[in-house]
Amino acid sequence: MVLAQFIAIAAVEEGKFGQTFSPKKEKGQRGDHVQVFVRIDDQAIRLRDPFSSPDYVIVQDSTVLGEVDILEGLKKGGMVIINTEKPLSLPNKESFRWIEVPAYKIAAEVTGKPWMNAALLGAFSAVTKEISFQSIEKAIKKRYYGRLEIQDVEIAWKAYELFRNKT
């Protein structure tokens, strides 16, 4: 949910509207599969329902690939951003774009810990151009301060730089 919130906050920083939500009301356990949705628009967002045809899918845990159909409803030409260091074999690759982001590795280089959100956020900004890096930096600074803020901005920047010219 944190990654989705950062995306929405960054969109708002750019004068857009952002909304996050999860279709499940119950609280899950750490490690449970969770779907979280983000809407970004230039107009006020009135919808509150999950959507069935996303433009982008971000997979934070690649181990779900055999258990969850991450491509369900993905728009033709849509993009999948996957946290993994291993090359993946995905079906129907011609109908969508995908990138493999070594988010844990990028974060570990900065913090020594496998924090993935900032790296995925930076990669999302770089490859989709939906939100600027400057807005990501502002979103991180709204939520964190001190060492955590500095580390997350650095992680996001490393991922952004890695993927800036890859789409």
Q: How far is CA 124 from CA 21, 72, 106, 147, 159, in A?
A: 18, 20, 14, 23, 9
pLDDT higher for 29 or 18?
18
CATH topology of domain 2-22+34-163: Pyruvate-ferredoxin Oxidoreductase; domain 3 (3.40.920)
pTM of the model: 0.89
pLDDT by residue (tens digit) across 115-147? 899 999 999 999 999 999 999 999 999 888 888
CA dist., res. 20 & res. 12, Å (int): 12
When pLDDT is averaged across residues 99-104 and rounded to a whole number, the result is: 94
- Asked whether residue 49 carries a pLDDT value surpassing 90, the answer given is no
Domain boundaries of the chain, sorted by first residue: 2-22+34-163
